[in-house]
Amino acid sequence: MITGIRRHCLFAASAVAVAAADQVVKWIIVTRVPLYDRITVLPGFFNIVHYQNPGGAFGLFAERNGLFLTMAFVLITLAALGLIVYLYSKTPPHQQLLALGLSFISGGAAGNLIDRLRYGQVIDFLDLHAGSWHWPAFNIADSAITIGMIIFGWYVLFKKMPA
């Protein structure tokens, strides 16, 4: 069991690693892949793309682009980060997987927040599809948030949550 300052450093380091990896790959995409271009990795299944998403998850509210929407997403993200830090502070030291999940959510939220502050939108680059089925483009931050939420959901459903 990891306790004390080491535990908090691991939480912060995991979140920073997720956000940093997300930002490095996004920088590569922005500087090397023209906007809306597509690089086929696995034909009929996986492409690298360069999309800019002014909306939320899955492009929600993308048609309502503007400063108000960007600021709303920034404020929502900051509130979510505050809630995640609170939940982490209540997580017992023996629930290391839950702490890791919360750090993934934090790092992913921070990665997308950096995009919103830099570009006013989020850079997406992972494109999955099979036949007529097409998943909306996403990024490393989105993947980390999803993994973290799966871990969190597992704890909510099957484990005792912190009080």
Which of 22, 115, 127, 142 is the catalytic position? 142
What is the side-by-side order of every strand in the sheet holding 46-53? Answer: 38-42, 46-53, 122-130, 133-134
Query: Annotated catalytic, 37?
Result: no
Say whether pLDDT at 122 is over 90. Answer: yes
Spatial distance between the Cα atoms of 123 and 22, rounded to a whole number of angstroms: 10
Closest CA to 106 of 82, 73, 126: 82
Closest CA to 53 of 67, 39, 65, 37: 65
**Total domains, the chain:** 1
Spatial distance between the Cα atoms of 26 and 64, rounded to a whole number of angstroms: 23
Which band of pLDDT confidence, cut at 50, 70 and 90, is reported for residue 160?
Answer: low
Query: Annotated catalytic, 142?
Result: yes
Asked if residue 39 belongs to a domain, the reply is no
Asked if residue 115 belongs to a domain, the reply is yes
Say whether pLDDT at 89 is over 60. Answer: yes
pLDDT of residue 71: 82
pLDDT of residue 57: 60
Asked if residue 38 belongs to a domain, the reply is no
pTM: predicted TM-score of the whole model, two decimal places: 0.89
Average pLDDT over the chain, rounded to an integer: 90
pLDDT of residue 65: 60
pLDDT of residue 163: 54
Q: Which residues contact 103 (CB under 8 A, 6 or more apart)?
A: 10, 11, 12, 14, 15, 18, 88, 148
Asked if residue 112 belongs to a domain, the reply is yes
Which of 22, 115, 124, 127 is the catalytic position? 124
The residue segments making up the domain with residue 14 are 4-32+51-158
pLDDT of residue 69: 72
